[in-house]
Amino acid sequence: MSTGSAPPILETKALTRSFSGFTAVNSVDLTIGEGTVHALVGPNGAGKTTLFNLLTGFLTPSSGTIHFQGRDITGMDPERIVPLGLARSFQITSLFEQMSLLEHLELALASGTGLTRKFWKSVKVLGRFHDRGMQHLEEVGLADRANQAAGSLSYGQKRALELALALALEPKLLLLDEPTAGMGLEDVDRTIELIQRLRHGRTVVFVDHNMHVVGSLADEVTVLQSGQILAQGTYDAVRADERVITAYLGESHA
């Protein structure tokens, strides 16, 4: 259960969340090493998304603790957690179709500064975020489309724009829930390359059902089953674990 030599950026102790008697996340001790890419896998309903919701403050734990960079963030709201450097990407089903990619980034950057609505509507103010917006679009390979309407993007490109919007939150730890869901092979490989690039200077925890994605990206893998950690280690070690083969990999390879 170690993360090698990397000091922990995130640590949970006995983290638990119940929904009216049903325990979705059950006494999870999770340690994420700084600078690592960590995959969270497990069958449907294992508690992966619930765990992400707990880490990002979208759900309050029933019990247990969460420390981020040594600081107790248990029970904090997302509004307080995001500025500390812990953010997730959301699947945005309603990007503003008419708005350009750069405008999406500028709005995200401006709203992160706490400026009032009236203030950040001004084109002049948004212009301040031009360079940083372009930088995040470059990071996800969309810089050449900066002035196109978001509505003109393919599905894979929209998911990349969502990643750029998450990067605008300046996360030290970035959580990605199923970054390749619904993608064809080409977009999956493009997303793997993208995460390889954006991991530099950041820590990434992602959930994915695609074992090719997990094997390509993860330094360490945690397998969750019925809300509990079943196994943890390198992809190869976890893949060879009998309990994992029975509980999960065996099932998905069947």
Ligand X SMILES: Nc1ncnc2c1ncn2[C@@H]1O[C@H](COP(=O)(O)OP(=O)(O)OP(=O)(O)O)[C@@H](O)[C@H]1O
Report the interface residues with ligand X, using CB under 6 A. 19, 24, 42, 44-50
Instruction: State the binding partner of 93 from ligand X, Mg ion, none, CB within 5 to 8 A by kind.
Output: none
- By C-alpha distance, which of 33, 37, 29 is closest to 221? 37
Please report where in the chains the tokens 């917006």 appear, as a residue.
133
Instruction: Indicate the residue among 150 and 205 with the shorter CB distance to ligand X.
Output: 205
Instruction: State the binding partner of 64 from ligand X, Mg ion, none, CB within 5 to 8 A by kind.
Output: none
Instruction: Indicate the residue among 86 and 224 with the shorter CB distance to Mg ion.
Output: 224
Instruction: Indicate the residue among 18 and 100 with the shorter CB distance to ligand X.
Output: 18
Give the nearest distance from C-beta 54 to ligand X in angstroms. 10
Give the nearest distance from C-beta 48 to Mg ion in angstroms. 5
Q: Which residue is nearest to Mg ion (CB)?
A: 49
How far, in Å, are 15, 16, 53, 59 from residue 62 at the CA level? 8, 6, 13, 9
Region of 226 on the Ramachandran plot (φ > 0 left; ψ -120 to 50 alpha; else beta): left
Give the nearest distance from C-beta 49 to Mg ion in angstroms. 3
Give the nearest distance from C-beta 82 to ligand X in angstroms. 21
Give the nearest distance from C-beta 59 to ligand X in angstroms. 8
Give the nearest distance from C-beta 22 to ligand X in angstroms. 6
Q: List interacting residues with Mg ion (CB under 5 A).
A: 48-49
Instruction: Indicate the residue among 153 and 175 with the shorter CB distance to Mg ion.
Output: 175
Instruction: State the binding partner of 57 from ligand X, Mg ion, none, CB within 5 to 8 A by kind.
Output: none
* CA–CA dist 47, 39 (Å, integer): 14
> What are the phi and psi torsion angles at 201 (to 5°)?
80, 5
Instruction: Indicate the residue among 48 and 145 with the shorter CB distance to Mg ion.
Output: 48
Instruction: State the binding partner of 24 from Mg ion, ligand X, none, CB within 5 to 8 A by kind.
Output: ligand X
Instruction: Indicate the residue among 53 and 157 with the shorter CB distance to ligand X.
Output: 53
22-33, strands of its sheet edge to edge? 22-33, 8-19, 63-68, 71-72
List Cβ<8 Å contacts ≥24 apart for 166-170.
Answer: 166/87, 166/88, 166/89, 166/90, 167/136, 167/139, 167/140, 167/198, 168/105, 168/108, 168/109, 168/112, 168/132, 168/133, 168/136, 169/82, 169/87, 169/108, 169/112, 170/85, 170/87, 170/112
Instruction: State the binding partner of 96 from ligand X, Mg ion, none, CB within 5 to 8 A by kind.
Output: none
- By C-alpha distance, which of 148, 156, 139, 119 is closest to 197? 139
Instruction: State the binding partner of 46 from ligand X, Mg ion, none, CB within 5 to 8 A by kind.
Output: ligand X
